[in-house]
Amino acid sequence: MIKNIFLLFFSIFLLSGCGDGLSTSTTDDSASITKALLTGTWTAKCSDNITASTSALTELVFYDSGDNLTATTTYYSDLSCVSQSFIFRKKLNGLDLKDKTTTSQNQIIYELTASITDISFEPKTSDVSSSLNAVDNITGDSYCGLSGWILGTEKSVAGLTCGSITNNAVSDTHSDIIQMNSEKTFIRLGNITNAASTGYPKTLYTQEYYK
């Protein structure tokens, strides 16, 4: 049961995000992004899922003038981001900002690439760790094919198939797009499930990350 909830969380928060319903205006009201401007912690507002009575909160940390990035999404068993269930974390390095361009919806953005250094999963309750260790009746494996899940201890799942989702492997290239508003108060990232042939997302999520 809990493993099914994991998949529901991922499909809602990691894959579909908060939608692409942004203005298609071509007015250049976005900031010129630099690695120095990105350095620091950017946090999104709590996102709730009424249907599953759950929520999630994502934090982006840019280190060393933007060369390294850690994206951490914490999932909760309530609608207000209070009771932690598990944490999904992606670490990147060698972040490279490209030239300013536009999305297919004429939104002004920068393309970026980085190398994946790790993807990890950490259970935050004993119920979650027990579910991760349970053997699936169909596959005969515990979650992601790993055993020994422990409350509060993260395990690398890079390159592994977890349920119906196969994670990128270490050293794979992560391609994304980023936008910063003209007041430099928030950033947006791309919908990585809606990618062009170049590998970059075609559209931006509406979700905003604030320093």
pLDDT tier at 25, thresholds 50, 70, 90? low
Environment class of 198 (CB within 10 Å of its CB; exposed 0-12, middle 13-18, buried 19+):
exposed
Residue of 69, 82, 92, 85 lying closest to 170 (CA atoms): 92
Mean pLDDT of 45-66: 90
The dihedral over CA atoms of 102, 65, 56, 153, expressed in degrees to the nearest 10, equals: 140
What would the pLDDT profile of 176-207 be if each residue is shown by its tens digit? 999 999 899 999 999 888 888 888 998 898 89
Whether the predicted pLDDT of 71 surpasses 90? yes
Who wins on pLDDT, 14 or 90? 90
Spatial distance between the Cα atoms of 135 and 58, rounded to a whole number of angstroms: 29
Whether the predicted pLDDT of 5 surpasses 60? no
Whether the predicted pLDDT of 7 surpasses 60? no
Who wins on pLDDT, 132 or 5? 132
Spatial distance between the Cα atoms of 106 and 211, rounded to a whole number of angstroms: 26
User: What is the pTM (predicted TM-score) of this model?
Assistant: 0.86
What would the pLDDT profile of 93-143 be if each residue is shown by its tens digit? 999 999 888 887 778 899 999 999 999 999 999 999 999 999 876 677 889
Spatial distance between the Cα atoms of 95 and 157, rounded to a whole number of angstroms: 21
3-state SS, residue 99: strand
